[in-house]
Structures are given as C-alpha cells and as structure tokens.
Amino acid sequence: MNISALIQLFASVAWIAFIGLLVVMGMRASRNQPAKGFGALTIGALVAGIILSTLGAGLVYIEPTERGVVKTIASGGIRQDTLNAGLHWIIPFVEDAVTYPISRQTYTMSAAGSEGQLTGDDSIRARTKDGQEIFIDASVIYQIDPLKVVDLHINWQSRYENELVRPATRNTIRDAVSQYGVEEIVSTKRVEMEELVTTELGKKLAANDLTLIGFLLRDIHFSPEYATAVEQKQIAEQQAQQAKFVVESKKQEAEQARQVAQGAADAAVIAAQGAAESRLIQAEAEAKANELLSQSLTPTLLQYQYILKLAPGVQTIFIPSGNQFILPLPDTTTAP
C-alpha cells in the first residue's frame, strides 16, 4: 500500500468518526444529556477528515510499471508531461491523475475460451488465396510507448485494447492469409506469413502510440469438411509411399539376387580361367622338359643308358659283322 492510499484510508476513518460523533451528539441531545467534550472531538474529526482528504486527493503515487496523465481545468485540459514512477502532488479536487501500464501486455484470440480475453470461440476466421476457409489462434505482445502516453490518452483512453489492438490484429491476419494458398500456409510459407503480419501490425500499432513486441501464430485449424479431405489425402499419400517402398524393396531384392548370381558366375569363370592357366603352365613345363630332354639325348648317351640297363651279369656282347664293336665292360664287382 502506497502513502497516498494510506492517507485516504486515514481520511475515511476520520470521516466515519466525525459522522459517528454527530450521531452520538444528536442522541444525547434528544435525551437532554450533556454533550460536553463531544463537540471538540467532532470538530477535530471534521478537521482531520478535511485535511487528510485534501492530502489524499493531492498525492498521487505512480508504480514503476505505470505512467500518469494529469487532467486539469487549465488550458488544454491535460498536462503535456506525464507523471513518472514515484510520489507526485497535484491540485486537490481540481486535477485528476489517470494511470496507464507501460509493461508488456498480451492479447490472445483463441478457439478455446479459457485461453483468450473473450469467452467462447474468438479465433480469426480468414480465407486463403485459393478460397479455403481457415481459423487462426494468435497472440499479440505489445506495450504502450512511455513517451506517447499523453497522445494515447487523448486518442484512445482505456479503449486501446478493444478498439485498436484487437481489430487491427484480426484485419492484418486476414489480409496476410489472402495472399497465400492453404497448402503454403500450413507448410512452406507459414513463417513468411507470420513475418508479414508482424511487420504490418507493427506499423499500425506504432502509428497509434503502441509498440509491438511480438506476434505469435499459435495454431491453424480448418473446417470439418476440409480437415476430412486433408486427412484422406494424407492417407492416400501414405499408402502410395508404402506401395513405392514395397516396389523399391522388391527391386533391391532382385538386384541383390542378380549380383549374387553374377558373383557366382564370375567366380566360376575365374576358377575355370585359373585351371586353364594352370594346365597351360603345366603343359608348357612338360614341353620344355621334353625339349631339354630331347636335346640331351645324344647317340653316345643312348648307348650308355642302354648298356646300363643290360643285365649286370653280361660281360661281353657279340654283334654281327659290320656293326660297332663294344669292348668288354670293366669288372666293377668285388670278388668273393
């Protein structure tokens, strides 16, 4: 409780005491009882009531979140300077102070009656570029410009919320919605539309001594018919996506089987090629060995090999006349 309210409370007590004392004095006078001493108390209560009421009417306390506008009987009917936070003195019973909040305020319009300033469905009904009807829940955060409180009082008084903020917001939202299709609003263009509303609404409020802090697009909903159509479309799209997924899965399975078969075929080819190359290398080795062997087989070597193969007991071989004479073999055995 501030000091001006406290003084007004004391003034009320003094006036109640004054009236009470008057009643007591009247009752005692009607009974012919002496009222000595009550007169002074009554006069004291009257003087205290007048003084305290005057002080209470002249002292004005402004909260830190408020600014005061002084109405006066002087020329112009209003002081040009606002009352800032603190205790101020105005001319009692001649001037009056009206306070305005300069803190941030929120005005909400919603389909849920418990969320907005008005009971019942207060959402904004708007029509899109392609003729679809949508309903929007929104909140506007704003504040009174502390430097323009006097102008706001002259132009709007306490009507600024219901006659400025609310209609300006609804009108701006409808104008913005009319520039987009319904699919754009609910998907790719929602943020862009929200920024458009913020810009345009900020200009309107600034022209009327208010500052826009933020615009919140809380929700977008549709008529029951359109919501049903959208749901059916989404179901059809999901089914199409599922069918596409099945087709892609079958394609992947077929490709995987093809790759497995191709791998097996490639492996068989590689194995066959390896076997052929191995056989070729073996044949080449055998041919090379035969070639070397044929080159080493001289007549003398063949005779020698032939002689080695003869029975070990043969000492002398007689051959027909005219053939090569073979000498007796040396005795290579050990005598018993």
User: In the 3-class helix/strand/coil scheme, how is the chain assigned residue by residue?
Assistant: CCHHHHHHHHHHHHHHHHHHHHHHHHHHHHCCCCCCCHHHHHHHHHHHHHHHHHHHHHEEEECCCEEEEEECCCCCCECCCCECCEEEECCCCCCEEEEEECCCEEEEECCCCCCCCCCCCCCEEEECCCCCEEEEEEEEEEEECHHHHHHHHHHCHHHHHHHHHHHHHHHHHHHHHCCCCHHHHHCCCHHHHHHHHHHHHHHHHHCCCEEEEEEEEEEEEECHHHHHHHHHHHHHHHHHHHHHHHHHHHHHHHHHHHHHHHHHHHHHHHHHHHHHHHHHHHHHHHHHHHHHHHHHCCHHHHHHHHHHHCCCCCCCCCCCCCCCCCCCCCCCCCCC
> At 319, is the pLDDT very low, low, confident or very high (cuts 50, 70, 90)?
low
Most confident of 103-107, 115-119, 126-130, 179-183: 103-107
Question: Do 30 and 137 belong together in one domain?
Answer: no
Report whether pLDDT(101) > 90. Answer: yes
For the stretch 212-237, pLDDT in tens is 999 999 999 887 777 676 667 766 77
For residues 52 and 140, state if they share a domain: no
Provide the token pair at 326.
């073979």
Sequence-ordered list of residues with C-beta below 8 angstroms from that of 59, at least 6 positions apart, any chain: 3, 4, 7, 87, 88, 89
Residue with more model confidence, 102 or 238? 102
Residue 327 is assigned to a structural domain of this protein: no
Q: Which residues contact 81 (CB under 8 A, 6 or more apart)?
A: 150
Q: Specify whether 46 is located in the same domain as 113.
A: no
* Closest of 213, 105, 109, 106 to residue 170, by C-alpha: 109
Q: In the structure, what pLDDT confidence band is assigned to residue 332 with cuts at 50, 70 and 90?
A: very low
Structural domain harbouring 28:
3-100
Contact 188, 136 (CB under 8 A): no
State the pLDDT confidence band at 177, using cuts at 50, 70 and 90.
very high
Would you say residue 227 lies in a domain? no
pLDDT at 89 over 80: yes
What average pLDDT does range 254-263 have in this prediction?
Answer: 83
Decide which of 209 and 295 is more confident.
209
Identify whether residues 167 and 210 lie together within a single domain. Answer: yes
- Give backbone dihedrals phi and psi of 142, rounded to 5 degrees, phi first: -150, 175
Q: Fill in the amino acid letter for 139.
A: S
- Which of 159, 189, 222 lies at the terminal end of a domain, its last residue? 222
pLDDT, position 303: 66
Q: Is residue 123 part of a domain?
A: yes
| For range 288-316, the mean pLDDT | 67
At residue 336, the pLDDT reads 43
> Is 134 contained in some domain?
yes
Mean pLDDT of 59-74: 91
Residue 57 confidence class, pLDDT cut points 50, 70, 90: confident
Q: Looking at the structure, do residues 10 and 81 belong to the same domain, yes or no?
A: yes
Question: Is the domain of 216 the same as that of 109?
Answer: yes
Shared-domain flag, residues 49 and 135: no
Residue 255 lies in a domain: no
Average pLDDT over residues 273-291: 79
Same domain? 27 vs 118? no
Give residue 335's pLDDT band: very low, low, confident or very high (50, 70, 90): low
Task: Give residue 117's pLDDT.
Answer: 84
Do 109 and 195 belong to one domain? yes
Q: What are phi and psi of 69, to 5 degrees?
A: -115, 125
- The number of residues in the chain equals 336
pLDDT at 179 over 90: yes
Give per-residue pLDDT as tens, 21-43. Answer: 888 878 877 777 776 667 778 88
Is residue 67 situated within a structural domain?
yes
Q: Do 160 and 96 lie in a common domain?
A: no
Residue type, 300: T
- The Cα–Cα gap between 117 and 109 comes to 7
At which of 169, 190, 222 does a domain end? 222
Give the pLDDT band of residue 208 (cuts 50, 70, 90). Answer: very high
In a domain, 81, yes or no: yes
Whether 184 is covered by a domain: the verdict is yes
> Is 93:57 a contact under the CB 8 Å cutoff?
yes
Q: Note whether 142 and 113 are same-domain residues.
A: yes
Question: 127 and 217 share a domain?
Answer: yes
Q: What is the domain-level CATH number for residue 144?
A: 3.30.479.30
Q: Among 76, 100, 124, where does a domain finish?
A: 100
Total of domains in the chain: 2
- CA contacts within 13 A on the Cβ side of 152: 29
